[in-house]
Chains A and B, each alone.
Chain A
Amino acid sequence: MVKVGGNGQSGTLISVRNLAKTYRRGAEELQVLQGINLDIDKGDFVAFMGPSGSGKTTLLNLLGGLDVPSSGTVTVAGDEISHLSGSRLTKWRARHVGFVFQMYNLLPVLSAFRNVELPLLLTPLSKAERKRHVETALSLVGLADRAGHKPRELSGGQQQRVAIARAIVADATFLLCDEPTGDLDRKSADEILDLLERLVDQHGKTILMVTHDPRAAERAHATLHLDKGVLSQ
């Protein structure tokens, strides 16, 4: 269950307390996020909506350990990540977070298989085990037959499915999706949303998704709104 302004009851997967992020631009201080309190349970599918510049992506970056907060804490599955050093945060990210971006962000020089395999290269898995995991992930997103294709040989929807396969292949604790349907036509967008729903409903994944698209937000269990750095339900 998603709760804005909660108090971090036991069983919560992600717990955010008094989170704030400030950027300094010259002499000017920009308060991008302020006083965010949020609890997200395992298996939740949460959409974040809000106008451009409201702090959605910044919040996602903080939750995913890509950025560090100016103040406040982020606790994921019992690990307080807000003050982890760079390399420890990177390792934590590899273990717990799967990222899906609007522009897919696949490596153009690698095949779909190799792109999906990337997070597994950081694990002690053998080559055969990596192969099995990648094939499973690609089958799950319906692209088992496109494993050898380079991103440029795939449609936008297919590329995003490869990106989702990459996000789930290492069995991440939760997925962060930053406008996953923003660059897709309606049909492809629906396919991606179907896939995300399936991951939550059938595989128990937890997904946090930033979107501008109300139809995408409708698929989530809860929609949270961000405006000028303040979160509301």
Chain B
Amino acid sequence: MLKFWPLLLAYLTRRKTRTVLTVGSFAVSLFLFCLLVTIRAGFQQGVQAAGADRLVVINKVSLIQPLPLAYRDRILKVPGIKEATYANWFGGVYQDERNFFAQFAIDHTTYRQMFPEFVVPDDQWRAFEADKQAAIAGEATAKRFGWKVGDRIPIKGAIFPGNWEFNLVGIYKGRRPNDDLTQFWFRWDHLIEKAPDWAKGFVGWYTVRVEPGADAVAVTKDIDSRFANSPWETRTQSEQAFMASFVEQMGNIGFLMTVIGGVVFFTLLLVAGNTMAMSVRERTGELAVLKTVGFTDRTVLMLVLAEVTLIALIGGAIGIGLAKLFTLRGDPTNGMFASFYLPPSAMAVGAALTLLVGLVAGLIPATTAMRLQVVHALRKL
């Protein structure tokens, strides 16, 4: 096929403006597709990053309702549970309400072990353990507000009233590209010390890890049955299901993204198909000449398909490349997404879709070219 390269190149540069516009339509479509996938992945980040062996225990009424701290020891006695930690949602405001980021009061003795995907340098964690007012921020949030270790971070409490101040002693990173780097942690014992009386002795939720090989479903039922008919009944679910429930609250994002993506690709199919049909129609005589000198129907078919596929792949590569560069700059919404990351699998799917659209778009014109009757076509010259 390489020896046909000059011929392909000549056809691609025959009408430069049209080729550039067609390549551009592929590039724009793929850019949009990758962006949609990134946004969808951003919404579903928690689901994707959730630990497979972790369960979340919340109050059966709602996540807003607390659970007694005393449940911790009882939960740890459930067969199949390896470890447990707990946390509270703080819901404070940093400078302005628009500066949203998740703030958690965490149990500094167990939290790090439960979430090994978050990487905190040992010295920073030791500083966190040593100082009750200490806080650790995710790399993305620290970057967003220009924080550095040693800064004092003032946060106005909403659920827990008052002006709170924290010493930033650490910045965590993620092991995986889609880990949430926007969280802000401080010590649960510091929260309870300053919190109103209604909050004392309660936690927001528990996260537990099941033993390897343990039946997670059975463990889930066991936990909930132990607290059934108590004033604080529990609802236990996998961390993945827990995260998915948040995404569902925003509607069927996945379906919406799929529909938009589908429309984009269908439009692209029409644009590319029409362009190639025009291009082949213009070249009827030249294709007849190729056949006259000995190019078989199959070779002509392959040439037209190769041309449209090349256009598709160049456009697709540009679109995917630009999207990757765009996402590398981070979340453009300043914190709406816990992660803004274009996964390699999405790039591969984009490339495959590009190829598919190119081939489908080129199929009709290529078949037309293949079926061209030399004698009739030469007569039209």
Residues of chain A having any CB pair with chain B under 8 Å: 61, 66-67, 86-87, 90-91, 93-95, 99, 101, 103, 105-110, 114, 118-119, 121-122, 127, 130, 166
Contacts and interface: CB of A to CB of B under 8 A. Distances in A.
A95 B291 CA distance: 13
Given A66-B374, A101-B378, A109 B10 contact: yes
Contacts of B13: 109
Given A87-B298, A114-B7, A121-B4, A105 B289 contact: yes
B3 A121 contact: yes
Contacts, number: 66
A58 B273 CA distance: 35
A86 B297 contact: yes
| Across the A-B interface, the 3 shortest Cβ-Cβ residue pairs | A94-B294, A109-B10, A119-B293
Contacts of B321: none
Contact of B3 (A94, A99, A127): A127
A93 B292 contact: yes
B297 A87 contact: yes
Nearest to B15: A109
B286 interface: yes
B6 A166 contact: no
Nearest to B9: A109
B375 interface: yes
Nearest to B300: A90
B11 interface: yes
Contact of B10 (A107, A127, A130): A107
Contacts of A119: 293-294
A88 B277 CA distance: 27
Contacts of B7: 107, 110, 114, 118, 121
Nearest to A64: B292
Nearest to A123: B294
Contacts of A91: 294, 296
A90 B289 contact: no
- Most chain B Cβ neighbours within 10 Å, of A61, A91, A105: A105
Contact of B375 (A66, A106, A127): A66
- Most chain A Cβ neighbours within 10 Å, of B6, B14, B291, B292: B292
A119 to B, nearest CB: 5
Contact of A110 (B10, B292, B296, B381): B10
Given A66-B374, A94-B294, A122-B293, 10 more contacts: A66-B375, A67-B375, A90-B294, A90-B295, A91-B296, A107-B286, A109-B11, A114-B6, A118-B290, A127-B3
A87 B13 CA distance: 29
Contacts of B290: 107, 118
Given A66-B375, A105-B381, A109-B14, A90 B291 contact: yes
Given A66-B375, A105-B381, A127-B3, A114 B10 contact: yes
